[in-house]
Chains A and B, each alone.
Chain A
């Protein structure tokens, strides 16, 4: 049996699953100290099902906590950046394209040093250890211990990043260092951005993951626990502490994978209605469609492969102003259960309009009995129009497609959606995210250099795919479920024999899960 938990900005959801069966599900407000919310959710799903905690094989946690921290500019550790590549790259220093407020919070402590490589492995300029040592001294004197290190073409040769890390560690004992080569691909600014954000988030990650562990300990759950990553696979807790940026897209990935699981559909549009926003994504062959372009996180450009989602400011807590009619994007958010009319508050929200329209019976219905019926109908129509436009935007053709509606705000969907062949609100729709976490997959990677002197490129790709698949299998994936989800090549012109670095990722369902 497995427990899936989704820690969102508003709610913490948990589900207990036995194979494909959902034994119990619960939703509880996210607490400032996230582990309290998790403990509450865990206690409930276990109590509801009456199982013995010893029967739990694993706990999978998905969280948007780190993404939210960047978006909300909270709990970020000031971080310095050292980039090796002088005299190249000067006109675009680290964090050049960051929003001003975020750059300020992070400290804007950017340094350029000599080093870096050409595409063919030659050095751009001689690496100067003393220069890095002097920079590290400045960083220490500025009171910083978090450092990101980038070097031009480090995906081809990471030596200078590694050597610099050693120096920084000598100068700043216990420094929190992220190397860009560990988390990104070609594209210096994007890879560097991700490295900086990773160091910014490590303290929060350590606290958060320890909090998760404490919550499990409190309930005497001894099973291994995992955190879900961008691509829908799991990482263990220690790895998550080191690489929190790898969780950035796990929220939408889990919700869409959960929607696919609950509906049994592999190709559909998923509409995830939350308290403040609605995210629309596309399922293709059971997986989220990946965005083709760079994805911004809190205004910072990265080159992670993310699900292609489109967000609109519409949710259960969206504030409605009647004259002239306006729905959102302001929202009462997590305060819905205090501020909405049906909950005794004094703010007209999307939830109030739905209750007044008669399709749902939530809270105190009499509180919305006096609302103007025309306004209520117009607001409901506007909500459906907003969703229909967003759905249309994500479609690849005019052909009607099934639309799966999930998330706590799903009650907002009250009628037909233009362009939808059917609307499915699967059972357990409010906790699709947690289900997505519970059914998360395990992955295997192959990242190594092939010489195309002995192998054809096709043979090398096949070999890399086979190795990645084998690793996924060894990590516990069911053989039949293993799929290749990512392939990337970096030609290494400096090595003889037409060498190329091939990176392949395979994922599969956990066996027996």
Chain B
């Protein structure tokens, strides 16, 4: 167990934003919520799975909806607690702690808010090792852990509880409900025992995010190239450097959807990159040819500072670097790959691991 203080939050949020591949919400809002909660309620205890009892129940907490909404309609805070407590009530079991469902900007740090306010442990693991747009897209689903019971709350005080026949049904129902909540809802789901998580969760995600965050910060301080430092820290490849020439975005079915187009600079002069997103970056095409796709990770970084840029912050004229890196190996097992295959997102292509495209 170690304690998470205000000063750890910055690094975790920065690293999680890299792993969040443009989605998961602006880490700034989550970071502020976590920081304010720690200031008010004290540091949060971060446990590894090995330090907890096998029977302990852990309930992940998250936000859901269109990330561009969350920077504008800031959460109430109570909505998050309400969903978490409703789930415990429905399960008839007191949750021992909370964790992140995904390593995305907002959702990696939101559980810190819950852990601080309720003074319960936070567990150092997650269900994706990255961020994904849909609820069923977790390693948990591939391991038979159910997203139900599922609780969702809005700032008004509405609480929806669902018990469904599959994780995909949670996604279907929740996605249409979240639109009515203004494309923003706070959720609790995938409750699991520590024993189940030991087999199905991706371990050490918070620590990994914190390490990536530290790497970027150090690279900035030592005046070395932060983009390259991030690329090395995640074992990735530089796809592109360039300027954003157009961003087409829409809020559709509770998502940020759209694409960004970039014109290459320096060694990439003359090339064009198209980046598609549905909350997260899905695929990058250079001059029409796929360069990287889900489930591998595609991150857009500020070309100077290495700061990860979320899809809602992409803007005409920005100078960026695009890197891609391999997903957690669990995603490449057949049951998991089916959930996050490029075909699932409408791309009629085989999945080619990014290191096979760019590796030696």
The interface of chain A, by Cβ under 8 A from chain B, is: 85, 87-92, 96-97, 116, 118-120, 122, 124-125, 152-153, 186-189, 289-290, 292-294, 301, 308, 389, 392-394, 396-397, 399, 457, 485-489, 491, 493, 498
Contact = CB atoms under 8 A, between A and B. Distances in A.
B227 to A, nearest CB: 10
Contacts of A188: 71-74
Given A119-B251, A396-B303, A91 B223 contact: no
A288 B69 CA distance: 30
Contact of B36 (A92, A301, A397): A92
Given A96-B32, A119-B69, A119-B251, A89 B74 contact: yes
Given A152-B73, A493-B250, 9 more contacts: A91-B77, A91-B113, A92-B36, A290-B317, A290-B318, A292-B303, A292-B305, A292-B313, A396-B266
A91 B69 contact: no
Nearest to A186: B72
Contacts of A118: 73, 182-183
B186 to A, nearest CB: 11
A270 to B, nearest CB: 15
Given A90-B78, A292-B318, A119 B183 contact: yes
Nearest to A492: B251
A319 B117 CA distance: 48
Contact of A119 (B75, B182, B265, B304): B182
Given A152-B73, A293-B305, A119 B66 contact: yes
B249 to A, nearest CB: 7
B319 interface: yes
22 contacts: A87-B156, A91-B36, A91-B75, A125-B156, A152-B73, A186-B71, A187-B72, A188-B72, A189-B32, A289-B319, A290-B317, A292-B309, A293-B302, A293-B309, A294-B28, A392-B223, A396-B266, A396-B304, A457-B248, A486-B317, A493-B251, A498-B250
Nearest to A290: B317
Contacts of B78: 87, 90-91
Most buried by B among A87, A292, A308: A292
Interface string B246-274: 01111100000000000001110000000
A120 B156 contact: no
Q: Which interface class (under 10, 10 to 19, 20 to 34, 35 or more) fits B?
A: 35 or more
A119 B78 CA distance: 21
Nearest to A487: B316
A293 B307 contact: yes
B68 interface: yes
Contacts, number: 128
B74 A97 contact: no
Given A119-B251, A292-B302, A187 B76 contact: no
A90 B111 CA distance: 18
Contacts of B137: none
B32 A97 contact: yes
B182 A96 contact: no
A491 B28 CA distance: 22
Interface of B: 28-29, 32-33, 36, 66, 68-69, 71-78, 113, 155-157, 182-183, 223, 241, 247-251, 265-267, 302-305, 307, 309, 313, 315-320
Nearest to A398: B266
A125 B182 CA distance: 12
A396 B319 contact: yes
**Closest 9 interchain pairs by CB?**
A91-B77, A118-B182, A89-B74, A88-B155, A397-B266, A292-B318, A487-B316, A292-B302, A90-B76
A292 B320 CA distance: 8
Nearest to A504: B316
Given A89-B73, A89-B74, A393-B304, A122 B182 contact: yes
A25 to B, nearest CB: 32
Contacts of A96: 32, 36
A153 B309 contact: no
B71 A491 contact: no
B267 to A, nearest CB: 8
B352 to A, nearest CB: 29
A91 B155 CA distance: 11
A402 to B, nearest CB: 16
A96 B309 CA distance: 23
A487 B318 CA distance: 12
Most buried by B among A91, A187, A396, A493: A91
B221 to A, nearest CB: 11
Contacts of A152: 72-74
A311 to B, nearest CB: 14
A396 B73 contact: no
A396 B228 CA distance: 12
A124 B74 contact: no
Contacts of B157: 87
A486 B247 CA distance: 12
A396 B321 CA distance: 10
B74 A88 contact: yes
Contacts of B77: 90-91
B250 A491 contact: yes
B155 A124 contact: yes
Contacts of B317: 290, 485-486
Contacts of A488: 315-316
Given A119-B69, A187-B71, A188-B72, A399 B304 contact: no
Contacts of B248: 457, 489
A124 B77 CA distance: 16
A247 to B, nearest CB: 21
Nearest to B300: A292
Contact of A491 (B251, B267, B303, B318): B251
A440 B7 CA distance: 43
Most buried by A among B36, B248, B304: B304
Contact of A124 (B32, B73, B183): B73
